[in-house]
Amino acid sequence: MRLSSLTMLVRPVVRSCPAALAALLLLAFGGCAPSFLVTPVNNTADLEEQTVQPGGWGGGKIAIVEVEGMLANARTGALLGGPGENVVSKFAQQLDAAERDSAVKAVVLRVNSPGGTVTASDTMYELVRRFRQKTGKPVVASTQEVAASGGYYVACAADKIVAQPTSVVGSIGVIFEAIEFQDTLSKLGVTTTAIKSGSLKDLGSPWRHLKGDERAVMQQMVDEYFARFVAVVKERRPVTEPVAADLNDYKKDGYAGAFSGRVFSGAKAVELGLADRTGLLADALDEARRLANAPKASAVLYARPFGDGGSIYAATSAPAPQAGVVRLALPEQAGVLPTGFYYLWHP
């Protein structure tokens, strides 16, 4: 067995022991002292293929690729204070595996994400687009609990979107959030000073209020990213609502259409053209088989060692064994997001 790294699983076992040591440990263990059997296990960072839905002989494979959690080109937990895996990196690794394997006839994106940073969402969209262009393999997106904002942005790269009727879908829009402490600090008698090279170098600083001209600059960037999102949806989806000539129309009070930033049920998303049909993940797999002309294809997942498998809904990864670590786990969306631009549904 090739080992990229070595993890030791330690099991207590009973061995014969010297008489002196036995006498000393007799009271503690009620018998002979335990020794330890150390077993090396594979803890490689490579992905392992797991079959989660058998197919017919020679029918090929449909690869299920995750679009899950907060999308960021960083360890997702590290973004908000805890450990985690780089979502973009793993996503690229899974697509590469599906590209290299000639037996993989199609890919199903299992989308369960409220979105994330603008750049991570756009990167993952582009990876899918290039995968389709290079391989000619069809891609079907299957929405789970949430396929909102950046999660939906990535799904738009697929040939078809199959939405569960109760999925939360949409949230087409951009948000920039900044927190300010100036008034709080002033009550404590605390002031801050920034020595800067340009008038906008500390734009978005939490230590002072956002000025009018600064707000205009940030709004311009938000509008730019929003226009990109709208263009993707317009190109990739047969949305029933015509795209406005002036995107400022979507900011008007009372507007609650597809581009208002709101979310819809999966069933409503189909009505609006944001998705193609309703169905479960199994239906999305069948759609991928149909598009790939591979009716007997099995379904596979790419999992890390120690990951959970067994069904098409199984999580594909689990943290590596740790010892001597105290962790404070926070929900991915809890608290205040780091300052930045997000394609994110963050109610």
Whether 326 and 159 have beta carbons less than 8 Å apart is answered as no
Classify 203 as helix, strand or coil. coil
Which residues have CB under 8 Å from 174's CB, separation 6+? 118, 222, 225, 226, 229, 341, 342, 343
The residues of the chain scoring below 70 in pLDDT are 1-45, 75-84, 305-340, 347
What is the structure's pLDDT at 5?
Answer: 43
Q: What is the pLDDT of residues 230-271, one digit of tens each?
A: 999 999 999 999 999 999 999 999 999 999 999 999 999 999
CA distance 156 to 122: 11
Whether 234 and 258 have beta carbons less than 8 Å apart is answered as no
What is the structure's pLDDT at 201?
Answer: 81
Catalytic residues: 149, 201
Classify 298 as helix, strand or coil. strand
Q: What is the pLDDT of residues 157-169, one digit of tens each?
A: 999 999 999 999 9
- Written as one string, the DSSP assignment of 333-346 is T-SPPPSEEEEE--
Question: What is the pairing mode between strands 168-170 and 298-303?
Answer: unpaired
Q: Tell the burial category of 280 from Cβ atoms under 10 Å away from its Cβ (0-12, 13-18, 19+).
A: middle
Domain-wise residue ranges, the chain: 6-40, 45-177+208-319+334-344
Token pair listed for 313 = 């809904």
What is the structure's pLDDT at 198?
Answer: 82
Q: Tell me the CB-side half-sphere exposure of residue 29, using CA atoms within 13 A.
A: 16
CA distance 60 to 103: 5
Alpha-carbon 307 to chain mean position: 16
CB atoms within 10 A of CB 78: 13
Calculated CA dihedral for residues 258, 345, 301, 43, nearest 10 degrees: 160
Classify 292 as helix, strand or coil. helix
CB atoms within 10 A of CB 307: 17
What is the structure's pLDDT at 320?
Answer: 42
What is the structure's pLDDT at 120?
Answer: 94
Helical segments of the chain, H only: 19-29, 76-79, 87-100, 118-135, 150-155, 182-187, 212-236, 266-272, 281-292
CB-based burial, 146-179: b 16+ in 10 Å, e otherwise: bbbbbbbbbbbbbbbbbbbeebbbbbbbbbbeee
CA distance 39 to 46: 20
Its CATH architecture, for the domain 45-177+208-319+334-344, is Alpha-Beta Complex (3.90)
Place of tokens 């582009």: 126
Helical segments of 69-158, H only: 76-79, 87-100, 118-135, 150-155
Question: How much is the pTM?
Answer: 0.78
Classify 265 as helix, strand or coil. strand
